[in-house]
Amino acid sequence: MRVITANERTGTKQKILEASIELFSLHGYSAVSVREITKLVGIKESALYNHFKTKDEILETIYSIFQFEISSKALPPIDRLEELLQDNNVESFLLQGFHRFKQSVDEANTVKIWRILNIEQFRDVRARKLIVEDVYQKTIDFLEAAFTIMISKRMMKQGEPRLLATQYQYPLFAFMTEYLLLSCDQIDTKPLEHRVEQHIRYFIAAVKVN
């Protein structure tokens, strides 16, 4: 029997993940069997267990991928805020943030994982924690820190930073859900993106120092 190389194993593992992401995003985790995953990959069921102990371990790995994508691409580290704000005003900072987030969401696998999270959030506490802690809370924390600096530098009007962060971001969370739904049905998202930019500019007009 031919020995399978490390590169081949890595390749197969990646194919299993991609097949699982595709199927879970369309049907939900519970509705997909190991047989369906291996059929899509083109391997025997037993071969899957060379890479993952259980189907749930595949889901756990998918959650980890999402967590990394959000932490590394969507939100810069808070300790870089002073540096980021040196060359930005309120408008450019918020618009760049939106486009950076949209760019991360637009990656094919990330969109599918977002769908998985939305399907699984009522069944799986891990999905809920990712949405609430890694998306909602970390985004609000990041914006609170940014607005605190902006207010201290007189880039923004006086206000309570966390309340301002909530007022700004929570409509964007709703826009994000709508964006994923439209993308799933392959409906043009340009009108929605225009409304998002209107929201951002309206917020900027209300808080920036004239």
- State yes or no: pLDDT of 106 exceeds 80: no
Residue range 41-83, pLDDT digits in tens? 999 999 999 999 999 999 999 999 888 877 666 677 788 788 8
Q: State the DSSP string of 59-91.
A: HHHHHHHHHHHIIIIIS--GGGHHHHHHT--HH
Domains of the chain as residue ranges with CATH: 1-52 (1.10.10.60), 62-207 (1.10.357)
Contact 17, 58 (CB under 8 A): yes
- Using 50, 70 and 90 to split pLDDT, how confident is the model at 208? confident
C-alpha dihedral, 114 to 142 to 189 to 175, nearest 10°: 80
pLDDT of residue 84: 78
Contact 69, 104 (CB under 8 A): yes
Q: What is the mean pLDDT of the chain?
A: 87
- State yes or no: pLDDT of 38 exceeds 80: yes
Structure tokens at 24: 């879970």
How far is it, in rounded angstroms, from Cα 40 to Cα 148? 50
Structure tokens at 16: 């299993």
How far is it, in rounded angstroms, from Cα 71 to Cα 73? 6
Helix, coil or strand: residue 156: strand
pLDDT of residue 10: 60
How far is it, in rounded angstroms, from Cα 41 to Cα 44? 9
Mean pLDDT of 111-122: 92
pTM of the model: 0.83
Contact 180, 111 (CB under 8 A): yes
- Using 50, 70 and 90 to split pLDDT, how confident is the model at 185? confident
Structure tokens at 10: 């890595």
Closest CA to 144 of 81, 72, 71, 206: 81
